[in-house]
Structure 1
Amino acid sequence: MRLTWKERVMTALLGAAVASGITTLILILVEATNVFLPTDIKFGIVLDAGSSHTSLFVYRWPADKENDTGVVSQALACRAKASGGSSSHPSYLQLGLWLHKTSALCLKHLLLSPTSAPIIGFRAHPRNPGWSHPRFLTSSHLQRPFVQIRSQSQVPGSGPGISSYASSPDQAGESLRGCLEEALTLIPEAQHQGTPMFLGATAGMRLLSQKNSSQAADIFAAVTRVLRQAPVDLWGSELLAGQDEGALGWITINYILGLLVKFSFSGEWIQPPEGTLVGALDMGGASTQITFVPGVPILDKSTEATFRLYGSEHQVYTHSYLCFGRDQMLLRLLAGLVQSSPVPRVRHPCYHSGYQGTLSLESVFESPCVHTTAPPDLPQNLTVEGTGNPGACISAIRDLFNFSSCEGRDNCAFSGVYQPPVRGPFYAFSNFYYTFHFLNLTSGQPLATANATVWEFCQKHWKLVEMTWPGQERWLRDYCASGLYILTLLVHGYGFREETWSSIEFRKQAGGTDIGWTLGYMLNLTSMIPAELPAQWRAQSYGVWAVSVVFMVVTLVAVLAVAVAQLFWPHD
């Protein structure tokens, strides 16, 4: 039986529709490939409770870390003020990952290392036994620090360190509220509960623990009480060992500079070629740290920190000198001058000529770093008079060191402390930077120029200094002593010479990120947080997608034509 014209046309249209539809399905199902969608961003909060101020940092990293170490960047830096205020600035350092989060291309897996790389030792997480808490495997024990006067690192309006709230511990917790509010505003509310937070107290609280352990415990309790009110996952509030502080600062610098891992032009995270890593010189209010990779084996294992990052193992020399921070140095220097002064008028060679001020005797001798007592016959308030004598100032500063214990020993810094010779480039930050920045010595000037500049500043009359730098009276009198102290520490203590001085760079930030121990800690912390697999999706190349659309249109047209023919073509 022969088909009618209508049946022939409809059969052809149906055949075309079926063939086109099958072709479309094949292109969609067979030619499609799996792609990874941009991953979620995780957040973490670290508070640096230093001797002179408390800073809060918010960090972020991609959830899909494949080598157990996240790629972290700084999102917020906030300095706590008294009475719960804050002073903050965002950080726009983007370390490659989220630069591509809006790209049409899928994010590739991070090829950081063929092996997993958590950092050294771990302690059980206080609230989740299944997780660990990073801890450096050094033989150092926690020392207990305090006292803070004025820190050069302070800015107008910033609050003091939590150790200064010994008589009113509740105020220590309240001082953190302003920065906490800013951090919670930045982090999406849905992620608050899963955001880890840690407070690390450094030399200021270690000194307070030496002086009065119950006051230190009250401050930690008050701080923890306020932090637990925030809707985040508090990992703890505790003292940070000096060795940990130095080693974590070293990790921060080398990570920021791309010496541990970097983003390649091929869109992958790779380890850079072997090269000299950068040493770290840190000076706070109560302690100072030196950390670097020596060119010889480390003989004293108590000064060695060993850890793995991005699949590579690192051994660094690190040592922390308690009571050699800027503020405690100034106190010890002043106490020594008071002891040697036969009259209530103290002549201070590190203060500018023409300077005169009143000194509270109790404020000088209450620090655990001052191992002498006040002379019994002196009044409670002394008059301090500046003489502007840098030579005498250096002599007084050298009396703070015990250089004689290292005589005849090559690998020794001072106070009998083992140290291999310094090697490679160094970044000097915190009070190293603040002092030399004020003196305009952060542009790579040679050692002779740095020395001459500090001497010239020390010999200026106080009135001229006040007129030249108005509004900075709070710190002006101490820049001379700080500058000469840094020169003495670096040259006669750590062993830098004219030929190695140029290897020191005085920096506050690197790549838009503040230098300190907090970023290094967060890198460790991310290795404790479970990774999340990136979401997958089926995708096609543009050419296959275009052909699929054409065949889909053909299919729809054919089906539509069959429907029209069925409805409007009259029967034969």
Structure 2
Amino acid sequence: MDYKAKAIAGLLAATCVFSIIALILSVVNVRDVFLPPSTKYGLVFDAGSTHTTLYVYQWPGDKENGTGIVSQVEACTVAGPGISSYADDPAGAGASLKPCLDKAMEIIPAEQQRETPTYLGATAGMRLLREQNSTKAQQVFAEVAKAIGEYPVDFRGAQILTGNEEGSFGWITVNYLLETLVKFSFAEKWEHPQDTEVFGALDLGGASTQITFQPGVTIEDKNMSVFFRLYSTNYTLYTHSYLCYGRTQALKRLLATLHQGSRSPQQVSHPCYPKGYQENITMADLYNSPCVHAPSSPSPAQNLTVMGTGDPAACAIAIQELFNFSCEASRTCGFNGVYQPPVRGQFFAFTGFYYTFHFLNLTNQQSLSDVNSTVQTFCKKNWTELVQAFPQEKRYLHTYCSAAIYILTLLLDGYKFTHQTWSSIHFSQQAGSMDIGWSLGFMLNFTNMIPTEAMEHVKGHQPSLWAGAVSFIVLAIVVALVAVFLQCFWKTT
């Protein structure tokens, strides 16, 4: 029995020793285990001349070729007009943003909110307010910053985008969404598409319009040239923004021109408004913008009666007077003497271009002849006919004829599209489920400024080593239990 006891004791001792060794090895061989990078979030306020939208974006912490793969999570439209309309109520501009910020805080995990970069970009509406009254513009920005600063986000500031920034960021958005910059391949990785033509971008806001494209020639005026490096590829673009040629400001300038050419200072016949339509406005409302040149001594409180005559031919002539289409003999131009190389490739026309043509059901690649025919037919309808046909659109219904003829004039005479190149224009406001505008392009370009995030590492065990160690310890315990059982069995015998 002594021999058996010694054998069992030896077996138990060996089991303990090997168990301890296995535990030590598993601890000593702790290595870095890499976890997937976290999802990042970003907020961008698009503060346009007529309204503001908050976009919530997300992208993976590890970047692709220096640029994050950004997707839109939410688009929240801020109630009320654009922030430039709060010039006399700056606090109202800040307060208007809060409901959308509350919504964003419900989307972004609480632990990531303080590291979420947040921007507000203002466009032509604030450019005009800055020209008109820089002090009021600063007060609006101060209240906006104060409101956003009350939320646990990484607020990077509010700024007025230049026209070239607005145009070029819109170009990035279009081409990102159409996968001409980067595409998820069959090899399950992001790749730059080979031999893929990029799209041009046509943007029509309330106060300005932008054209951006990759020309087939060297850009002569470097002030209208912009360079981007995205997804390891270089892009040199032509871009220009025409302030005061956005939809709202252009139509206001049109009315002012008609007023100043009217025989009666208190009454205006408007050929672009439908026959039978009439409205009263004040001189103060008509001449409250730097885009509209007031007569020498307008009476702000004076009322002006505007009556529609429904004459599309006269409307087109009046709109032509808003432009100067002559060019210097030595170079090509868009309008007002601004240099522009010939348009090239396919274009996406969004925002104001899309909204007007969508209303007229002209976003399905109709021919230019069909577009002209539809616009002429619409412009000849009287006000009663239009109200009966479109009862839900009464607020802006009287403006669609002038907006449509203005767009045709801008695209054909201004940007120099022709009957042959008309089919290259695609009218759209979304690609997939994402909105087209400058804010996504801004966010994509912003991700180039974020250092590539190293994959987060923690101390852990190699899976195979840990599994082996656990298996050995379990086996050792089983052996020990068997040994104890045998010893008890031999004692009873």
* CA shift digits 1:104-146 (9 cap, x unpaired): xxxxxxxxxxxxxxxxxxxxxxxxxxxxxxxxxxxxxxxxxxx
Pick closer, same or farther for the CA change 1:184–1:388 going to 2, 3 Å.
same
Residue in structure 2 matched with residue 535 of structure 1 by the alignment: 456
Please, which of 169, 175, 181 is the counterpart of residue 102 of structure 2? 181
Structure 2: distance between partners of 1:538 and 1:80: 50
Measure the CA separation in 1 of the matches of 2:301 and 2:105. Answer: 50
Aligned partners of 1:77, 1:57: CA distance in 2, in Å? 5
Aligned partners of 1:552, 1:378: CA distance in 2, in Å?
Answer: 92
- State the AA in 2 paired with 1:493: G
1:369 equivalent among 281, 291, 314: 291
CA offset digits 1:164-193 (Å, max 9, x no partner): 111111111111111111112211122222
Is residue 345 of structure 2 the alignment partner of residue 347 of structure 1?
no
Which residue among 281, 304, 310 is the counterpart of 2:231? 310
Indicate the larger mover: 471-480 or 266-275.
266-275
Which residue number corresponds to residue 251 of structure 1? Answer: 172
Please name the residue that 2:316 is paired with.
394
Once the two structures are superposed, what CA deviation does each residue of 1:515-541 show, in whole Å capped at 9, x if it has no partner? 111111112222333443223565658
CA 1:565–1:193 in 2, change beyond 3 Å: closer, same or farther?
same
Map 1:70-219 → 2, pairs under 5 A? 70-81=68-79, 159-219=80-140
Alignment of 1:49 with 2:8, yes or no, is no
8 Å CA contact 2:282–2:300 kept in 1: the answer is no
Distance 1:39 1:434 in 2: 40
1:325 corresponds to 2:228: no
* Counterpart secondary structure, 2:304: strand
Q: TM-score, normalised by structure 1?
A: 0.78
Which residue number in structure 1 is paired with residue 36 of structure 2?
A: 38
- Answer whether contact 1:59 1:73 (CA < 8 A) is retained: yes
Q: Which deviates further from its counterpart, 477-486 or 544-553?
A: 544-553
Structure 1 residues 3 and 496, CA gap change in structure 2 (3 angstroms): farther
Task: For structure 1, list consecutive stretches of 5 or more residues without a partner in the other structure.
Answer: 82-158
Q: CA separation in 2, counterparts of 1:248 and 1:378?
A: 39
Equivalent residue, structure 1, for 2:426: 505
Question: Tell me, what secondary structure is at the counterpart of 2:392?
Answer: coil
SS at match of 1:291: strand
Tell me what 1:107 maps to. Answer: none
1:136-166 alpha-carbon deviations (Å, 9 max, x no partner) = xxxxxxxxxxxxxxxxxxxxxxx10111111
Shift of the 548–461 alpha-carbon distance from structure 1 to 2, 3 Å rule, reads: farther
Structure 1 equivalent of residue 62 of structure 2: 64
| Match status 1:461 vs 2:459 | no
Letter in 2 for 1:491: L
Q: What's the CA shift for 1:440?
A: 0.6
Q: Please point out which of 262, 281, 285 is paired with 2:202.
A: 281
Match of 2:153?
232
Q: Is the 8 A contact 1:307 1:314 kept in 2?
A: yes
8 Å CA contact 1:14–1:558 kept in 2: the answer is no
- Secondary structure at the residue paired with 1:474? coil
Separation (CA, whole Å) in 1 of partners of 2:28 and 2:222: 60
AA matched with 1:366 = N
C-alpha change, 1:296 and 1:35, in structure 2 (3 Å) is: farther
Change (3 A) 1:547 1:486: same
CA distance in 1, matches of 2:278, 2:469: 86
SS state of the match for residue 319, structure 1? strand
Contact 1:10 1:565 in 2 (8 A): no
Letter in 2 for 1:440: N
Residue 201 of structure 1 contacts residue 237 of structure 1 at CA under 8 Å; is this kept in 2? yes
Q: Distance in 2 between matches of 1:7 and 1:272?
A: 75
Q: Tell me, yes or no, if the aligned pair for 2:226 and 2:238 is still in contact at 8 Å.
A: yes
Distance in 2 (alpha carbons) for counterparts of 1:291 and 1:376: 38
Residue among 449, 460, 467 paired with 2:370:
449
Q: Does the 8 Å contact 1:61/1:73 carry over to 2? A: yes
C-alpha displacement of 1:557? 3.5
Displacement of 1:265 in angstroms is: 3.0
> Does the residue aligned with 1:382 lie in a helix, a strand or coil?
strand
Q: Would you say the 8 A contact 2:66–2:232 is kept in 1?
A: no
| Alignment correspondent of 1:380 | 302
Distance 1:269 1:33, change over 3 A: farther
Q: Does 1:478 align with 2:399?
A: yes
**Which AA in structure 2 matches 1:80?**
V
Higher helix content, 1 or 2: 2
For the structure 1 residues 376 and 233, does the alpha-carbon distance in structure 2 shift closer, same or farther, using more than 3 Å as the test?
closer
Give how far 1:470 is off. Answer: 1.1
Determine which of 173, 177, 185 is the counterpart of 1:264. Answer: 185
Q: 2:456 corresponds to which letter in structure 1?
A: A
Task: Label 1:431 to 1:376 Cα distance change in 2 as closer, same or farther (>3 A).
Answer: closer
**Is the contact made by 2:119 and 2:157 (CA closer than 8 Å) also made in structure 1?**
yes
Equivalents in 1 of 2:298, 2:233: separation in Å? 58
State the 1:339 CA deviation.
0.9
Q: Is the alpha carbon distance of 1:73 and 1:212 closer, same or farther for their aligned partners in structure 2, counting shifts above 3 Å?
A: same
Question: Which of the two has higher C-alpha Rg?
Answer: 2
TM-score (norm 2): 0.90
2-structure distance, mates of 1:425, 1:3: 96
Check conservation: 1:55, 1:78, Cα contact below 8 A: yes
Contact kept, 8 Å, 2:259 with 2:268, in 1: the verdict is yes
AA aligned to 2:48 is G
Mapped to 2, the partners of 1:365 and 1:461 lie a distance apart of 28
Structure 2 alignment gaps of length 5 or more: none
Q: Post-superposition shift, 1:228? A: 1.6
Letter in 2 for 1:331: K
- Partner in structure 1 of residue 354 of structure 2: 433
Per the TM alignment, residue 248 of structure 1 is displaced from its structure 2 partner at its CA by 0.8
Contact persistence 1:280–1:292 (CA under 8 A): yes
Offset at 1:474? Answer: 1.0
Residue type at the aligned position of 1:217: Q
- What is the alpha-carbon distance in structure 2 between the residues aligned to residue 275 and residue 538 of structure 1? 46
SS in 1 for 2:218: coil
CA distance, structure 2, for counterparts of residue 27 and residue 262 of structure 1: 43
- Please name the residue that 1:133 is paired with: none
Q: Give CA deviations for 1:493-522 in whole Å, capped at 9, x if unaligned.
A: 111122221221111111211111111111
Most deviating of 377-386 and 525-534: 377-386
